[in-house]
Each structure stands twice: as C-alpha cells, then as structure tokens.
Amino acid sequence: MELDLTEPLNLLRRHEGEVRHFVALLATANTRARLTGPTDELVLWEDHVVDCAAALALLPQGGQVIDVGTGGGLPGLVWALCRPDVAVTLLDSVERKCALVGEMVQVLGLPPERVQVVCERSETFAARNREVFDLASARAVCEAGVLAEVLSPLVRPGGHLLAFKGPRAEEELEGGREKWDRLGLGEPERLGYDLGDKVRCFVRWEKIAPCPSKYPRRPGMAEKRPWYR
C-alpha cells in the first residue's frame, strides 16, 4: 500500500516555524554530541524531518505514543510539535542524548504533560510500563523482527507498532511470517512512500493480544537470538 503524504506534509507546513526552531537546536546539539549526525539544517530537514513527518497521519488521535531510541528527538519531537493532541514519550538509554533532548524540550516550550524524556533501556522501561501506549515507534537500524520484540510489550491491545524502514523491509519481515502472533501481533502492513529519490516505507503491526510476559528478554537477546528462529 502506498501512503498519501498530502495530509502529513500539510501539517508540517502548518507548524514549520516551530519545527525549524527545533532543527536549528538539533543542528547545534549535533556539534556537541552526535545525536543524529548532520549539522547542516537543510540536510536535517530533507533527510530526517520530512521522513518523520510522513507518519503524522498514522498517529492515534489524542493518544499516548513512545519514540524508542529517540537519539536527537526524531521522530518524537516532530510529532509533538505537529500533533499537539498527542502525548509523546522520548526514550533513550544514553544519558548525554537525553540531557540534550531535555534541553530542547524546555527551549521549545513543550509542557511535561505532553512530552517526557526518559533515560532507560527499553527492556527495563517496558517492565514498569507494560502495554500502556497506543503506539510505539522506532527509526532504529536493527531488523524489523528485533524491533517488534522491543516495541510490542509497550503497546496496549488495539494499538500499533510502527517501524521506519527502507527497501529491505520485505526481506526483514520474512523470518517472522505467520509467527507474529507469538508477540501478540497481527500480520504486518507495509506502507510505502517516496522522499525524492529515496524509497521508504513504514511497517505497521496491530497489537491483537497481550504480549507474553517473557518478552522483552534481557538487553541484547533480541538481536543475539531472534525470537522467530
């Protein structure tokens, strides 16, 4: 399925001033610590912000969402600025990144009831915040099946998992084919979109049942021993 970007890009234009303020802060922060990588605001906008904004129409109305491995606040801060109806938790395990993102949240004037920054491993955070979010997302480079184990314990039944992926998405999903229910998930849906000459997609799962309590496993196990093998 191809994603229509008309609505999300219109939302981004509506909040462009606020988001460009964030991009300026992020570019400066990237000179102090490697949060996202680029220090050029144009590159950040075209390669990161627009990509994050593509998901705006997929966020639940008035929902609780979590950005796992937020790094420099992407996609979570773009979502918080463009979708003020949504409460966003920004989760990362690196203290330096969390401190800088927290500074940006304050400068941007985002209230704590709408945006929280949490410095913790997702596996330990999930143990205390099990199945409380309407949507969990990640732009991490690890495989889709690994992300599913990390994200599923955070999402309530009826909610969704959302992974940012590229042209290898179908290949990554092959290992979990017809096994996703082991994590309480339905079969994944691929939502494609183009950003200039880059072919991108979201992989979205619906949470159809509670995730078994054995997931997530201790840190590192999801990648070392994938659940579907």
Q: Look-up: residue for tokens 């890009």?
A: 9
Burial of 61 (0-12, 13-18, 19+ CB in 10 A): exposed
Q: Look-up: residue for tokens 């494609």?
A: 192
Considering only CA atoms, give the Rg of the chain: 17
| Amino acid occupying residue 203 | V
- State the greatest distance between any 2 C-alpha atoms of the chain, in Å, as a whole number: 47
Residue 25 marked in a binding site: no
Residue 63 marked in a binding site: no
CA distances from 126 to 68, 95, 168, 190, 217 (A): 11, 18, 28, 25, 10
Residue 174 marked in a binding site: no
- Please list the residues that pair with 119 across neighbouring strands: 92
Residue 152 marked in a binding site: no
Residue 41 marked in a binding site: no
Question: Which residues are annotated binding-site positions?
Answer: 69, 74, 122-123, 139
Question: Which residues are annotated binding-site positions for S-adenosyl-L-methionine?
Answer: 69, 74, 122-123, 139
